[in-house]
Every structure is written in C-alpha cells, then in structure tokens.
C-alpha cells in the first residue's frame, strides 16, 4: 500500500483517466482529478475516490499559461506533486481523400497541441517542481498507433510517436535529478472516445486484432499506470509498456 503520494492525472473525467484515478486512490495515493470541459463527469470521478485530500482541477492543456497555473495549484494543494500522469488527449478520424487543406491543417494543430505540446509543457512545469522536491515520476499515456500507423488519424499517430520520443529523451535528461519517466502504449480501449468506431461495422475487426478477441477495459490500462506511477523500479525509466492484447507486436 502506497500512502500520501500525490498524483495529478490529466483527462480524469472518464475512460482511462477515471479508472487510473480510482486505482491510484485505492493504493492510498492523493489524486488531483483534471478535466477540461466535462465538470460533471470529473466531479463524479472525485466523488467515488476512496481516501481523503483529493482535488479537482480544470485546465485547457492547450494553453501554456493555464498549465502553469494548474501545476502551481496542484503542487500547493496536494502537498507537493510526486507524480504526473499525462493521459488527456483527443482524436479525430478523417479519410484523406475526403478532406481539404484547411481541415488538414486545423486537425493537425488541435490534436498536436492537446496530445503533445500540452503534455510537454506539463512535463516541464511538473518536472521543475519534482526536481526541487528531490524527485518524482511522469507517466505518459501513448498508443500502439505510434508504432503501427493510423491511416485515418495520422495526426494522432504522430502526436503519440512524439510523446514516446519525448518520454525517452526526458528519461535521460531527468534521471540524474531523480525524476523517472515511463510510457504506456494501449491499443483500443472500451472508452467513450472509441465507442463510435467500436459500435460500427469495423468493431468486430478491431476486436479480432487481439489474440484475446476483445479490446482492453480501462481498468487494465489503469493497473499498468498505477504500477508505473507507484511501484515500478527506477531502472525502468525510459520504458514503453505495450498493453494491446498482442494486437501489435514490436520487435
């Protein structure tokens, strides 16, 4: 049982983030529940967390100024920030032949700002706090799409590949200062973000990509996040942990 570790989890109003908040709180951690727009869902997450001292934080992580305020608040109100979980992200699917240049540019900008630039700013601001406190951990939530490609979401695949490279680079840069960086790369997960495509005619094909014949449950990813955040050996820093039901195997 881990006690009094303070964790900020972005995108914790639902899906993987909500499951991770519950799992980490079950392990005794104090959790900062971040959301962007869905306050009601975030409050519902907060309400079911066991233990005391959890807090709710609103922030648009595409805003560098808002990120600074978020980290300052979380560090002060959670009695120091020990772990950052970069889970918040967005996706949008388009067929290349059906979109125009303006849509292409707009989608790249919005997805990369939220999925890569925002997390990088969070890593910087949280990393500075962790160094001042003598150490900490960062867990980035990536995707198998960073490796296998995303033909309907190239912006998403690129943002997650960038997150992988960022995490490995920061593991090298921050390790000497006691900050350890881990990445988890899920496949498809049964969340609101994936609900539409999983309910479509494509759904059975997606489920059958795994040797288990299904997609992951949020709790399975959450257990991996909790392990990396609270228990993983320091020497695992820089790792990318695949959790995709053998739907994509890297050599």
Q: Which H or E run contains 48?
A: none
Evaluate the CA torsion angle 104, 110, 116, 117 in order and state its sign.
Answer: positive
> How far apart are the C-alpha atoms of 175 and 168, rounded to whole Å?
10
Rounded distance, CA 204 to CA 158, Å? Answer: 25
Helices (H) and strands (E) in the chain, counts: 10, 7
Which one of 35, 57, 156, 182 is the catalytic residue? 156
Handedness of CA 171, 172, 174, 178 (dihedral sign): positive
For this structure, is 57 an active site residue? Answer: no
- Which of 87, 34, 90 has the alpha carbon at shortest distance from 58? 34
Q: Exposure string (b/e) for 65-91, b if CB count within 10 Å is 16 or more?
A: ebbeebbebbbeebebbbbbbbbbbbb
Contact 30, 5 (CB under 8 A): yes
Q: With H, G, I as helix, E, B as strand and everything else as coil, classify residue 100.
A: coil
Q: How many CB atoms lie within 10 A of CB 34?
A: 28
What positions carry a catalytic annotation?
156
């Amino acid at each position: 049982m881990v006690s009094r570790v303070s964790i900020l989890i972005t995108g914790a109003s639902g899906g993987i983030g909500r499951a991770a908040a519950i799992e980490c709180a079950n392990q005794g951690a104090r959790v900062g529940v971040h959301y962007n727009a869905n306050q009601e869902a975030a409050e519902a997450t907060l309400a079911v967390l066991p233990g005391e001292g959890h807090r709710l934080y609103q922030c648009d992580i595409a805003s560098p100024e808002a990120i600074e305020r978020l980290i300052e608040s979380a560090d002060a109100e959670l009695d120091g920030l020990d772990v950052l979980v970069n889970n918040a992200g967005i996706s949008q699917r388009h067929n290349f032949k059906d979109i125009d240049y303006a849509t292409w540019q707009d989608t790249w900008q919005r997805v990369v700002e939220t999925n890569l630039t925002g997390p990088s700013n969070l890593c910087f601001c949280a990393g500075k706090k962790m160094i001042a406190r003598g150490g900490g951990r960062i867990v980035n939530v990536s995707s198998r799409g960073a490796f296998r490609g995303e033909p309907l979401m190239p912006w998403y695949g690129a943002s997650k590949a960038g997150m992988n490279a960022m995490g490995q680079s920061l593991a090298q840069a921050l390790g000497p200062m006691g900050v350890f960086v881990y990445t988890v790369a899920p496949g498809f997960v049964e969340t609101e973000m994936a609900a539409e495509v999983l309910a479509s005619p494509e759904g059975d094909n997606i489920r059958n990509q795994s040797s288990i014949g299904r997609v992951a449950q949020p709790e399975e990813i959450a257990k991996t996040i909790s392990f990396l955040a609270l228990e993983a050996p320091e020497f695992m820093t820089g790792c990318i942990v695949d959790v995709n039901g053998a739907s994509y195997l890297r050599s």
